[in-house]
Amino acid sequence: MTAMAHAPLPTDEETLLDYFLALDTPTGFRAELIEGEIVVTLPTDGTHEHCFSRVLSDPGFRCPPGRELPCPHGP
């Protein structure tokens, strides 16, 4: 007996797009259509946001010139 993790997706682009648009992903999950494949990713655990917050709160941090992001310590 053979088991498959998922049914093969059709190669027709319009049908693939219909499948993608009809997805009902759980809250927090993200579905993307990348190079003809549907990719569903888990929600983040907050680690990235925590690290970014620590960088921005560092008094020695300075934003690179020409960046459009607001920086708490100025340019």
Q: What pLDDT, in 10s, does the model give residues 26-36?
A: 888 889 988 88
Cβ neighbours, 10 Å, residue 23: 11
- Averaged over 39-53, what is the pLDDT? 81
Question: Of 51, 52, 50, 71, whose CA–CA distance to 62 is shortest?
Answer: 71
In eight-state DSSP terms, residue 30 is E
Q: Does the structure show a pLDDT above 80 at 60?
A: no
Q: Can you tell me whether residue 37 is helix, strand or coil? A: strand
* Residue-averaged pLDDT of the chain: 75
> pTM value?
0.44
- Taking the C-alpha atoms of residue 18 and residue 22, their distance in angstroms, rounded to an integer, is 6
56-65: buried (b, 16+ CB within 10 Å) or exposed (e) per residue?
eeeeeeeeee
pLDDT band, very low/low/confident/very high, at 62 (cuts 50, 70, 90): confident
